[in-house]
Amino acid sequence: MKKYYADKKSLKFLRVATFLIISGIIIGLKYLLDHLESRFPEYFSIPKITVPEIIIWAVVILLVTAYVIFLLIILPLWYRSVSYTLSSDEIIIKSGIFVKNTCYVKMSSVQYTTSVSMPFAKYTSFNFLVISAYGGRLVCFFLSSSDMAEIGRRIQQALSSRGGL
């Protein structure tokens, strides 16, 4: 029985990519505010805070708050909680932060697997293994390339040993 975990490289990539996207949105909103100020100088010459400024700052605060809560708190907790256990007769997937979820699949009910690797998966660990079994599907998220290949190979060996393939 061997345990596999989600690769932390994908978490780092998600953090950096999301930070760059949010930074771009904030810069775009600042550009929009500057454009509105130059287009309507009489409206923005009022010493009070204007409605567009309130909306733009509210969006900025919302984006930063969502980034902090989701990518700096919740997602790392999920990465610590997820595990994939593969034994000779079953596959166990455990995950969950607030509600723990455990899925058991007998190796004898597995029909086939599908490996999905995104571009630059070597650096981002955006590798997914979809396990199709009688009655449903399981997805193993954010595996390293070597873990995905090893799990796929072990499942393929179990399928081959059943015969018919």
116: left (phi over 0), alpha (psi -120 to 50) or beta: beta
Q: Three-class SS of residue 157? A: helix
Q: How far apart are CA 139 and CA 28, in angstroms?
A: 36
Per-residue pLDDT of 130-140, as tens digits, reads 999 998 899 99
% of the chain at pLDDT higher than 70: 98
Task: Report CA dihedral (79, 85, 91, 96) to the nearest 10 degrees.
Answer: -30
Per-residue pLDDT of 11-51, as tens digits, reads 999 999 999 999 999 999 999 989 988 998 888 777 778 88
Per-residue pLDDT of 89-100, as tens digits, reads 999 999 999 999
Give the lowest-confidence range in 20-29, 38-47, 62-71, 143-152. Answer: 38-47
How many domains does one find in the chain? 1
**Which residue type occupies 119?**
P
Which residue intervals of 40-106 are DSSP H helices? 41-44, 51-66, 75-81
At 164 the pLDDT is 55
Per-residue pLDDT for 165 more than 60?
A: no
Host domain of residue 64 = 1-165
At 44 the pLDDT is 78
Assign 3-class secondary structure to 33-44: HHHHHHHCHHHH
DSSP letter at 50? P
CATH code at position 76: 2.30.29.30
Q: What is the mean pLDDT of the chain?
A: 91
